[in-house]
Each structure stands twice: as C-alpha cells, then as structure tokens.
C-alpha cells in the first residue's frame, strides 16, 4: 500500500485543483460573468496560461474579480509545486517495491480518468456549484453585480452629472413635464444647491437652477441635453428625440438640430 502513496498524493492534488477551479468559477459567476467565460478565466488563472486582452479587461476592471483571479494564480502556483513533488517519488522508486513502473502508470491513468469523469458529470457539477455558491454567499462578501457591465458603460452609455445652468431646457420643470425617459435619458438622482440629495426622483420632482442631475443614457444624448436651451428649438429637439426612439430615421434630424444650438 505504501508504494501507492505517491499516486494517491498526486490524485489528491489534482482533485483539490479541480475543486479550486470550480470555486473560482462559481465566484466569478456571482460577479456577473457567464458560466462559460467564468470557467475559462478560472482555469486560465489557475494554470497560469493567460487569456485574451478583451476578456482580461472584464476581470481587471472589476475589483472583486481581480481578487478572485489573484487567489487562483497563487493557488495554481502552489498546486504546481505540490504536483511536481508528488510525481518525484512516483518515478524515483523502482520495481523492487513490488509494483512495476507500468503498473503505477496504469493506476495513475485510471485515477485521472475517474477524476475527469467526475468533473465532467453535469449532475456533480450542478451539486458542487450549488453548494459552493451557497457557501460563498454565506461566508464571503462578494460584489454580486458588475454595474459597469450591467449599465453597458463600455457600449456608448454613461452615467454623468449635469449642472442645471440658467436658461437650460430642463430648468423650472418637473420630471413629468420633461419626459426625459421618453427620449432615453434616466435621472438617477438630484443634488440641490444646499447639499440635499434626492435619490430615485419621481415625476413630481421639480428641477431648479443650480441643481446637479445624475443622469444615465447614451453619451451623445447626454452631451446634447447638457447644451439644450429653454426655447422652441429645445422643444423641437426633445420631440424629435422621442420620435427617434421609435423611428431611427429621425436621429439625423436630432443631430442636425443639436449642431445648430
């Protein structure tokens, strides 16, 4: 039995590596990554083989994902050392131990095949993912949402603060009168000149001169809205912008009107 200890040690190290990769995968999924991408990122980090620039940006721009990847890289390096340490006595001991080299190799291949079958089992994968996910939620504090990805801030959208200057189109009106949501702009909050902050304002909320609006929408729409004046042309741009959401052809008219302001 003692001659099989190196083989058992190696299989235990491989099994622990599979579990670590699974934990990393579930943790990355909890931050908003798809299961396929999370598994690839976790496996790449644990094996130390790297990944493409576009995919690495999704990790590096998220602080929680960076910590998970760092944890996987450290454990991957430790696992490599443990694997090599387990393999040395396996190939150093001769046949005088009672088991030939080929018999040891057969035992090793059978053990690895068993671990592969277990890791490829969808049932075991579901059960492990459920248990690991429940444990991570209970005993760790993960930022479960990638707000940059959810808000599509890399796809032409932005969250911006807009100062309401005198003569601005939005000044002196309630949100229900402005109908900003109808043209694709959401007001997330309002900071008054006295420091008061109104989160999730309602349609009855009144916009005053000097207010700072926290707005979300397409970058070019927010830029145009910030320059829009309280006149007939401003009303025309708003009406055209509303129609443009349903009739994309009107978007060019909006841009032309915006350049004239």
Mean pLDDT of each 10-residue bin along the chain, 261 residues long: 67 84 84 80 81 64 77 80 64 56 78 83 82 75 58 79 94 94 94 93 95 94 93 92 73 50 48
Q: Is 59 exposed, middle or buried (0-12, 13-18, 19+ CB in 10 A)?
A: buried
pLDDT at 172: 94
pLDDT at 12: 82
Count of CB atoms situated within 10 Å of the CB of 83: 14
What whole-number distance in Å separates Cα of residue 131 and Cα of residue 183?
A: 45
What whole-number distance in Å separates Cα of residue 124 and Cα of residue 129?
A: 8
| Cα 61 off chain centre by | 9
pLDDT at 78: 75
Domain positions in the chain are: 2-148, 152-260
pLDDT at 83: 66
* R_g over Cα of the chain: 29
What whole-number distance in Å separates Cα of residue 15 and Cα of residue 115?
A: 7
pLDDT at 32: 73
The CATH homologous superfamily to which domain 152-260 belongs is Regulator of K+ conductance, C-terminal domain (3.30.70.1450)
pTM (two decimals): 0.49
């Amino acid at each position: 039995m003692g001659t099989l200890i190196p083989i058992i040690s190696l299989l235990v190290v491989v099994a622990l590596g599979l579990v670590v990769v699974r934990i990393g995968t579930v943790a990355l999924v909890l931050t908003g990554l798809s299961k396929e991408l999370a598994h690839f990122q976790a496996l790449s980090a644990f094996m130390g083989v790297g990944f493409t620039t576009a995919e690495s940006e999704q990790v590096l721009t998220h602080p929680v994902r960076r910590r998970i990847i760092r944890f996987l890289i450290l454990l991957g390096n430790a696992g490599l050392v443990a694997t090599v340490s387990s393999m040395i006595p396996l190939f150093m001991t001769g046949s005088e131990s009672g088991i030939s080299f080929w018999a040891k190799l057969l035992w090793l291949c059978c053990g690895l095949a068993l671990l592969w079958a277990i890791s490829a089992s969808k049932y075991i994968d579901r059960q492990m993912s459920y248990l690991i996910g429940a444990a991570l939620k209970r005993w760790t504090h993960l930022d479960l949402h990638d707000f940059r990805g959810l808000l599509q801030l890399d796809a032409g959208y932005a969250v911006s603060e807009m100062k309401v200057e005198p003569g601005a189109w939005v000044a002196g009106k309630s949100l229900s009168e402005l109908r900003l949501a109808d043209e694709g702009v959401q007001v997330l909050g309002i900071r008054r000149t006295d420091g008061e902050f109104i989160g999730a304002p309602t349609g009855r909320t009144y916009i005053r001169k000097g207010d700072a609006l926290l707005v979300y929408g397409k970058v070019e729409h927010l830029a145009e809205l910030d320059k829009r004046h309280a006149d007939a042309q401003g009303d025309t741009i708003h009406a055209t912008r509303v129609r443009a959401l349903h009739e994309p052809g009107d978007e060019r008219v909006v841009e032309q009107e915006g350049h004239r302001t």
